Structure 1
Amino acid sequence: MSGQRTRVLVLPGYQNSGAGHWQTRWESLDPAFTRVQMPDWDHPVRDAWCRTLDAAVAAADTPVAFAAHSLGCLTTAFWATQYASTAQLAKVAGALLVAVPDPAEVHFPQAASGFAPVPLMRLPFPGIVVASSDDPYGGVRFSQTCANAWGSQWIGIGARGHINADSGLGDWSEGRGWLSSLSVPR
């Protein structure tokens, strides 16, 4: 796989990412970005989402990186620690994990099942956890705990809500730069 361009698997959270979301904008800017289509965006089930991610990684014929948002972050952590084979993990260059939600928070979607407790063990690939100081779905302390446990770098970006379309990030070049720093094939 050495020398091949990294495919970025886009992992939205609960209810998918709409037109103004940075994930959707990145997909429209670069054909190397591919959204992983989950079986049910409105009723996420961990096992189904992890198996769907596993199939997407298996189908990739190049190294992959993850651009995950919200529940996509938890899917990544569960997949990497409980579902993925060694061969699958060897394909992963890294993960940008944005707005990690806390299943214990009151705003966590009740329709989501199987996402607690969050696996707090080192991920077998480099990661960057990006957090907002006023995210209603996951606090700074929780995101720092996850970053530390996952062996990931933690970056706080101030008060940007859930770091979604409502955050006014546009094409979010800063996030794209962080992702690029992880996307170099190993």
Structure 2
Amino acid sequence: MNDSKVTVVIVPGLRDHVADHWQTHLADQLEHTVTVPPLEHDKLSRAARVAALDEVVNSIDGPIVLVAHSAGVITTVHWAQQSTRPIVGALLATPADLEQPLPHGYPTADQLDDAGWTPIPRRRLPFPSIVAASSNDPLGSSRRIAGMAEAWGSRLVSLGPVGHLNPAAGYGRWPQAKDLVQDLIAAREQVAL
């Protein structure tokens, strides 16, 4: 692979690959993308998801931008605490606040704690990042997500009332994702000049 090409690594949430999800549409639009594959075992294991992300990242030569959604954001943040791999940047869309009770149909607080998701790391990320936050996300209050973004050193982008930015909230396609990824790549190119 040409080192000048940035590979976008898609980091899905706990529901893994969803056909009409904005991450799936984004992967189809971009030239160089790799999606972290779904787990066959230990589907709720934070450590297994971090290991899967690490395996994908380590299989790529050249620059990488991470594009994470929901619990994929939390996977990314946990991964960043242990990895030394340089990353161009990360788009962290509607992080799931796994420290708070989630709506019916999602894992319970005890299940998430047992699977290693909590506490959510609050250390500054070692790469530029953008947290895209919803004002009415059922999986994370605006105040708590803004606090995470600040702790991670992320630029906070308010999306307004987009729910959890998933197909259930009306987001198959999300054109702004491509623009935000381009912002991260452009920032890298500015530094290189």
The TM-score with structure 1 as length reference comes to: 0.89
1:133-152 pair list within 5 angstroms: 133-152=135-154
Q: Which among 98, 116, 121 is matched to residue 118 of structure 2?
A: 116
Distance 1:145 1:48, change over 3 A: same
Distance 1:127 1:41 in 2: 30
1:174 matched to 2:169? The reply is: no
Cα offset for 1:133?
1.1
Distance 1:2 1:148, change over 3 A: farther
Partner amino acid for 1:11? Answer: V
2:67–2:90 contact (8 Å) kept in structure 1: yes
Distance 1:30 1:151 in 2: 26
1:57: which partner in 2?
57
Distance 1:164 1:17 in 2: 12
| Structure 1 residues 125-180: Cα deviation after superposition (integer angstroms, max 9, x where no partner) | 00000111111111111111111000000111111110112333443221210111
Distance 2:129 2:60 in 1: 20
Which deviates further from its counterpart, 41-50 or 56-65? 41-50
2:157: which partner in 1?
155
Distance 2:40 2:139 in 1: 20
| Structure 1 residues 27-50: Cα deviation after superposition (integer angstroms, max 9, x where no partner) | 122231211114248832111111
Distance 1:41 1:135 in 2: 29
2:9–2:35 contact (8 Å) kept in structure 1: yes
Calculate the aligned-residue CA RMSD, in Å.
Answer: 2.1
Gaps of 5+ in 1: none
2:101: which partner in 1?
106
User: Any runs of at least 4 consecutive aligned residues in structure 1 with deviations exceeding 4 A, and if so which?
Assistant: none
Distance 2:158 2:10 in 1: 21
Cα offset for 1:93?
0.4
| Structure 1 residues 44-83: Cα deviation after superposition (integer angstroms, max 9, x where no partner) | 21111111111111110121111100011001100101x2
Distance 2:3 2:15 in 1: 35
